[in-house]
Amino acid sequence: MIRLDTRAADFALGFEALLQQARETTAQVDDAVAAIIADVRGRGDAALLDYTARFDGHAPDNAAALRVTEAEMDAAIASVPPALAEALDVAARRIERFHVAQLPRDLELDDPEGLTLGMRWTPLDAVGLYVPGGKAAYPSSVLMNAIPARAAGVGRIAMCVPAPKGELNPLVLAAARRAGVAEIWRIGGAQAVAAMAWGTAKIDPVDRIVGPGNAYVAAAKRQVFGRVGIDSIAGPSEVVVLADASNDPAHVAMDLLAQAEHDEAAQSILITDDARFADAVVAAVKAALADLPRAAIAGESWKKHGAVILVRDWEEAAALTNDLAPEHLQIMVADPKALFGKIRHAGAAFLGRWCPEALGDYVAGPNHVLPTGRTARFASGLSVFDFLKRTTWVAAEEAGLRAIGPAAVALAGAEGLDAHGRSIALRLGRNHG
């Protein structure tokens, strides 16, 4: 775990090293992923069956058997304990309400020259949703990816989830049913991404692929981008916690470990203005690791990538946060909204000591699919806008063309595009040039 102090002479070097930590792993698997994608493109369903047998230990009789049936979904959903089903519904309702509220309005503007300008929003036709699978599956990811697509009006949502030994987590299927997903395939890894991007005899291609996955899935999404759209290349999870000494060190420690337990490559950073409080949090992290079920993962993450930064004041903390551009940001100070106003770069922010980031992972409402690896400098979290397209349009009558057409003719001539200019000039009854 790294300790930094902005008062130290070597702080700039230490902070730069923290910013440059390499936690991504997709480059290491690019060649293997390219081979899988090429194989799926060439052999289609046969390749999917081979990879499913090899990687998941499950050998369906044919490609049609890769699809989860309605009867299987019904049986799995019936096995979900009522309390969990209710928790899933609470999350779904809140996520749906927040994302429906995001839906934009079409634009229509009459300008002074007599033209009408507009912008129309339309949903994508088909979206592919990748969900990590097996016993340690994430139904929350199903809700967070599928509900915004459904809110946007996407007509078809196809979901791929690996099924080790043919088994699927019942709660994942329950989440899919709650989010309105009916097309589910027992396929994982890069081969699932390839199938959704290029299509096979059994699986129709989609227009955009969203959802988290391992390094192979992330690399595959990068390689099929252009053929289809993608949400982002998700890297290891991360959190920056801005906390003053009025907080309980045990609470802050658990907030840091909540990210660290995701992955050995995850990163948790505490920024505080109180050295004694920093020491107390570090001690609380060590104590919490003693009985945390995922202590091996969380401990490795904290040891390799964790950091505690001592600052002079919160202005300094805000500047460092903007450099870090974290996926998750917790602000636990006397006036969190005021400090949040100074933050330009963060995927999602959680304000106040009663708002841990884990709330946003499940039931708060905003999306938990967020930009990682400092990409919050230019990227945003998943929303309904990821499932919509904008089409601009223009309507003009003769008076409008006469008002602005000569300027277009002049610019076309300057660019040497004669046909462009003539297409306007002929309508104006004048020679071009």
The catalytic site residues sit at 327-328
Q: Residues of 314-347 as b/e, b for ≥16 C-beta within 10 angstroms?
A: beebbebbbebbbbbbbbbbeebeebbeebebbb
E runs forming strands in 13-115: 107-110
Place of tokens 């949703």: 129
Give the sheet arrangement for strand 2-5, strand by strand. 2-5, 307-310, 267-272, 238-243, 328-332, 348-351
Q: What angle do CA 201, 207, 209 make, to 5 degrees?
A: 95
Q: Which long-range contacts (CB under 8 A, 24 or more apart) does 61-69 make?
A: 63/200, 63/201, 63/202, 64/202, 66/185, 66/186, 66/187, 66/202, 67/183, 67/184, 67/185, 67/186, 67/202, 68/168, 68/173, 68/184, 68/185, 68/186
> What's the DSSP call for residue 331?
E
Residues in the chain: 433
Q: Which residues contact 47 (CB under 8 A, 6 or more apart)?
A: 36, 39, 40, 191
Q: Which has the closest alpha carbon to 15: 3, 25, 32?
A: 3
Do 322 and 308 meet the contact criterion of CB atoms below 8 Å apart?
no
A 10 A CB-CB count for 119 gives 14
Place of tokens 């929303």: 383
Helix (H) or strand (E) holding 318: helix 314-324
> What's the DSSP call for residue 105?
P
DSSP string, 177-244: HHTT--EEE---HHHHHHHHHH--SSS---SEEE----HHHHHHHHHHBTTBEES----S-EEEEEE-
Helix (H, G, I), strand (E, B) or coil at 372: coil
What are residue 253's phi and psi, to 5 degrees? -60, -45
Type of residue found at 72: E
